[in-house]
Amino acid sequence: MRSSLQSYRKVSVDSGISVASPHRIIQMLFSGALERLAQAKCAIEQDDTVKKGEAIGKAISIVAGLNGSLHMETEGDVANNLNALYDFMLQQMSYANVNNDVKAVDDVMDILRVIKEGWDAIPTELHQLSSDQ
């Protein structure tokens, strides 16, 4: 049953990505990182080292991907500020993984939520604009 549910989720996510706008994909990445961090926090509290490592590893991959997608030359101060925040979050997630630190996970989740709220607040008519328009 669990395998079927996981397969369904994967197909659902894959289908969502194939029709999603770039703006929506970023929203999905933020949500995915927050979900993985919640799983990591739960795993730390349950002393489940394997699940903690897997969840934090996935969250790190997502945040690293978000960081790698920044256009440093064209997005200026915003990109530089986000880069610094993403670097800080990556360091905190690594620290949380090594030290089983729930507070470090919470700190990263708080930062991600603020960034996601800002991203979610972008008006729909601006979702398709790129930095060269």
Whole-prediction pTM: 0.81
Say if 4 falls within a structural domain: no
Domain with 34 in it: 28-119
Say if 114 falls within a structural domain: yes
Q: Which two tokens stand for residue 93?
A: 């997630």
Q: Which two tokens stand for residue 27?
A: 């929203």
- The pLDDT of residue 88: 98
- The pLDDT of residue 131: 47
CA nearest 30: which of 104, 82, 96? 82
- The pLDDT of residue 10: 54
- The pLDDT of residue 75: 75
- The pLDDT of residue 133: 44
Q: What is the number of H-type helices and E-type strands within the chain?
A: 5, 0
- The pLDDT of residue 122: 86
Q: How far apart are CA 54 and CA 76, in angstroms?
A: 34
Q: What is the CATH number of the domain that holds 81?
A: 1.20.120.340
Say if 14 falls within a structural domain: no
Q: Which residue in this structure is represented by tokens 């604009």? A: 129
Residues of the chain with pLDDT under 50: 8, 131-133
Instruction: Report the domain count for the chain.
Output: 1
- The pLDDT of residue 74: 81
Q: Where are the alpha helices (DSSP H) in the chain?
A: 2-19, 22-45, 49-68, 72-99, 102-120
- The pLDDT of residue 20: 78
CA nearest 68: which of 53, 79, 81? 79
Say if 46 falls within a structural domain: yes
